[in-house]
Homo-oligomer: A and B are copies of this chain.
Amino acid sequence: MKKIPYKTYLTEDEMPRQWYNIRADMKEQHAPLLNPGTLEPLTTEELYPIFCEQLCKQEMDTSTRYVDIPDEVLDFYKMFRPSPLIRAYNLEKALATPAKIYYKFEGNNTSGSHKLNAAAAMAYYAKEQGITSFTTETGAGQWGTALALACSHFGLDLTVFMVKTSFEQKPFRKAVIETYGANIIPSPSTTTEVGKAILEQNPDTGGSLGCAISEAIEQSMKQENTRYALGSVLNQVLLHQSIIGLESKIAMEKLGEYPDVIVGCAGGGSNLGGLMAPFMQDKLTGKANPRIVAVEPSSCPSLTRGKYAYDFCDTGKITPLAKMYTLGSGFMPSPNHAGGLRYHGMSPIVSKLYHDGYMEAVSVDQTTVFDAAVKFAQIEQILPAPESSHAIYGAIREALKCKETGEEKTILFGLTGTGYFDMNAYDQYNKKAMNDYIPTDADLQRGFDSLPNAE
C-alpha cells in the first residue's frame, strides 16, 4: 500500500469550480429571516440596501445546489489555494492513538485564516455591481484582514470596525489592515450612533462582534454606494466556505479515505459550515453517516447553552431577525482570546442542522484550549490561532477516545488559521496568567432577557 503523504495538495485542475449550497439538500429549511420592523419574512429586495444584489440572492437561495465560482474569484483563489490536507502523523504518534488524524490547514495566506474564501467572493460581486466601498466588523482580526486583502485586489475602499478587546490585544493587526489600504476603528466607537449609545450604557466595554456589526451596518447606510460585509453566520458565507470541505473531500478521495468524524470550531459557523458541507450532503442524502462535532468556547456557548430562537444578529438591534442558537444579542461575552468565537449567535443553517440532530456540540475552557494549542504547535510545528485550537482540542478528544476503544477511526478537523497575531494570549498562557471565563446561569439569563418576541 502506498504511504499517505504528510500533505496532499490538489492541482489547479482538480480544484472545485463550483461552491456547494447545503440548503438544496436540507430536508427542512431554517425559518426565514424576519424584517425587524414588521416581523414579516424578509424579501430578497429588502436585503439590497445591506448587501450587494448577487449576495442577497445567494443568501435566500434554497434550491441551486451548485453555484459556479466566477473566473476572477477562481484566479484569486489560486493565489492561496488549494490549501493542504495534512496527515497529522506526529500528533497520532504523540497521542499513541490508532486513529488517523487529518486536518485541512487554511492558515497559509496573509489573512491567516479561511476568511479569505468568502472575502474574495464578496469583493468580486460588489465590484461587479459598481459598489465602491465596504464596511465590516472583525473580531480576532482575520476577517478584517481578509476583506482588506480582497478589497485591495478588486479596488474597493474598506472601513473595519474591530472589537476593542481584540484591537488592544493585537496591535499589529492595524498595521496589516492599513498596509492593504483599509481604515480600522476600534469598536464600540464614537463614529456611530449605536456605538455612542453602547458606550454610554457601558463605557468600559471591550466590545463584541454584535456591537461591531451594528456600527458597520450603520456606517454603510451613511456612506454612498457602500455595502456591508459579514464574515460569518450568513448563508452566503457558508456557500463560499464550502470550498474548504469540497477540497478536503476530493483530497481524501484521492487518498482512499473518508472521515468518520469531522470536527470544527464554531463561533458564527463559517469554518465548520464550510468544512462539513459536502459531508453533510452525504448525511442528508443517506450516502454516508459521519459524525460532525462543533467545538465552542465555554465563555460563549451558543450551541451548548443557548436558546433556539429568533434574535438580532447584532447588539444594536438593527439587523433582520434570524432563528438560531443564541445567547441573546444583549449577551456581552467576556474577553476570551478567541475573538473570532466571541459571538452571541450561530449560523441559521448550522443551528437548524444541530437542532435537527445532524450534529453534536461541545464547549471547552480557554486554558484547556491553549493546552491543546501549545501541544499541537510543538508536535505539528504549526502555531494555531486560538479559534482553530478549539477544533484541535476536539480532534484530540476524539483520538483519545479511539485510544481507549482501540477503534481506528478517521478524524478530519479544520485548522482554520495561525496564531501569529495572538502572541499576547500565548504569552499569558506561558506565564500561567490565563483565566477561564464561564458565564453563570444569571449571566446567561441577562442575555436571554434581551431576546425579542418573535416566532
Q: Which residues of A are in contact with B by a Cβ distance under 8 Å?
A: 5-7, 9, 11-12, 78-80, 90, 108-110, 112, 149, 152-153, 171-172, 174-176, 178-181, 374, 377-378, 380-383, 418, 420-421, 423-424, 426-427, 430
Contacts and interface: CB of A to CB of B under 8 A. Distances in A.
Contact of A381 (B6, B12, B79): B79
Contact of A80 (B5, B181, B381, B427): B381
Given A381-B149, A420-B421, A176 B426 contact: yes
Contacts of A418: 110
A430 B108 contact: no
Contact of A383 (B9, B11, B110): B110
Q: Give the number of copies in the complex.
A: 2
Contacts of A79: 6, 90, 380-381
Interface centre among A112, A175, A178, A427 (most CB of B within 10 A): A175
Contact of A378 (B90, B152, B430): B152
Given A7-B12, A152-B378, A172-B423, 11 more contacts: A5-B12, A79-B380, A110-B377, A110-B382, A172-B172, A172-B427, A175-B423, A176-B383, A178-B427, A420-B420, A420-B421
A119 B190 CA distance: 49
B175 A427 contact: yes
B78 A179 contact: no
Contacts of A80: 381
B7 A426 contact: no
Rank and list the top 10 A-B pairs by shortest CB-CB distance, nearest first.
Answer: A172-B423, A175-B423, A6-B78, A175-B427, A5-B12, A420-B420, A110-B383, A108-B108, A152-B378, A9-B9
A36 to B, nearest CB: 37
Given A12-B6, A153-B381, A421-B420, A374 B179 contact: yes
Contacts of A90: 79
Contacts of A6: 12, 78-79
Nearest to A88: B79
Nearest to A80: B381
B7 A78 contact: yes
Nearest to A76: B381
Contact of A180 (B112, B149, B378, B423): B378
A152 B379 CA distance: 8
Contacts of A424: 172, 175
B420 A180 contact: no
A354 B312 CA distance: 66
Contacts of A423: 171-172, 175-176
Contacts of A11: 5
Contacts of A378: 152-153, 179-181
Contact of A430 (B9, B110, B153, B179): B179
Given A110-B382, A180-B378, A381-B149, A175 B426 contact: yes
Interface centre among A78, A108, A172 (most CB of B within 10 A): A172
Interface centre among A179, A382, A424 (most CB of B within 10 A): A179
A179 B383 contact: yes
27 contacts: A5-B12, A5-B78, A6-B78, A6-B79, A7-B78, A9-B9, A79-B90, A80-B381, A108-B108, A110-B377, A110-B382, A110-B383, A112-B420, A152-B378, A153-B381, A175-B424, A175-B427, A176-B420, A176-B423, A178-B426, A178-B427, A178-B430, A179-B374, A179-B426, A180-B378, A181-B378, A420-B420
